[in-house]
Chains A and B, each alone.
Chain A
Amino acid sequence: MWTAGIFYSCWLDLFNFLIYGYPIVKNTYSLVCHQDPAKLINFSCGNSFVCARCLGIYTGLLINSFLHIFHEIKLKKDFRLVLLATVPMFVDVVSVAAGIYDYSKTIAFITGLLFGSILFLYLYNGLQNLIIEIFKR
């Protein structure tokens, strides 16, 4: 649902009444993304509500959650995994900020996708352990 909300502008074509919620939903996504117009993904129906990198992160989370239904991927007990996933994103953010190269939506999306995919493993494991801890009592 959260990922679907990113494409709110496209849903407006199908459900006109959603126009009432447009500023509120856009404002909601502004809490989790800077929404810089130059970094948003453009569709024929409008712009996404989050930038390419955030869209990559949420897509990574979504894809991995679907994959998890069919095949459970165990989280390795090594925190370097999250570092490995963060490095490309961090390098991209720093390089763009330092002006080494121009912002690329594709690179931002891919680095976000990698980070989001790994993040899901931690999230899933965390939720699983939380449920176990709650029901242990």
Chain B
Amino acid sequence: MKKYLPSFISGFGAGVLHIVPVAKSLACCLIVPLASFTALILDRRANPTVEKISMKKGALVGLFTGLYAALFGTVFDLFITLVTKNNDIVAMMPELQKMISAFPLSDAMRTEVLNLFESVRNDIIQYGFSPLYTFSIIINNTVVNSIVGTLGGLIGAQIINQRLNNRNEY
């Protein structure tokens, strides 16, 4: 467990920041990569060494950070949706309806698309939960955060190793 603690802490932080609008607007797309970088630094503090970080370790720490961020991000998102009975999908509906009406779609397709989106929206407004929405955010968060986290881990490991190089030169 100790091995995954830095990823757990950083992933939790990233999951929280994902739902804080101000933090999200400042860190933007760098939340999860920065969390991976932080996890690597925490790991180094916990296990002090002068050796360089292997790319495999960087990628693994990043991957776990991304997965934890996805887990906490999903749980927080679902919880907030359940409590407030509102989320991005509900907010997006008027724009979506306008868009669908403007598109040159066949009547059958337009009705089908609108019914599908309406059912998701109604589920969220009524119960604060939609199976389709839940499924989509679980897949989205897991795939996107694990990829972004792994890439962040790779880049973070390079930066830490280069800093080590610079220190050794002076």
Contact = CB atoms under 8 A, between A and B. Distances in A.
A74 interface: no
B78 interface: no
A20 B113 contact: yes
Interface string B51-75: 0001110110000000000000100
A87 interface: no
Contacts of A97: 26
B59 A130 contact: yes
Contacts, number: 105
B112 to A, nearest CB: 9
A122 B62 CA distance: 15
A31 B55 contact: no
A123 B155 contact: yes
B31 to A, nearest CB: 8
Contacts of B154: 122-123, 126-127, 130
Interface string A115-131: 00001001101110110
Nearest to A131: B55
A51 B28 contact: yes
A31 B155 contact: no
Interface residues on A, range: 35 or more
A32 B117 contact: no
B58 A34 contact: no
B25 A31 contact: no
B24 A34 contact: yes
B84 to A, nearest CB: 17
Interface of B: 18, 21, 24-26, 28-29, 32, 54-56, 58-59, 73, 88-89, 92, 96, 99-100, 103-105, 109, 113, 116-117, 120, 136-137, 140-141, 144-145, 148, 151, 154-155, 157-159, 162-163, 165-166
Interface of A: 9, 12, 16-17, 19-20, 22-24, 26-28, 30-34, 36, 46, 50-51, 53-54, 57, 75, 77-80, 82, 93, 97, 119, 122-123, 125-127, 129-130, 133-134
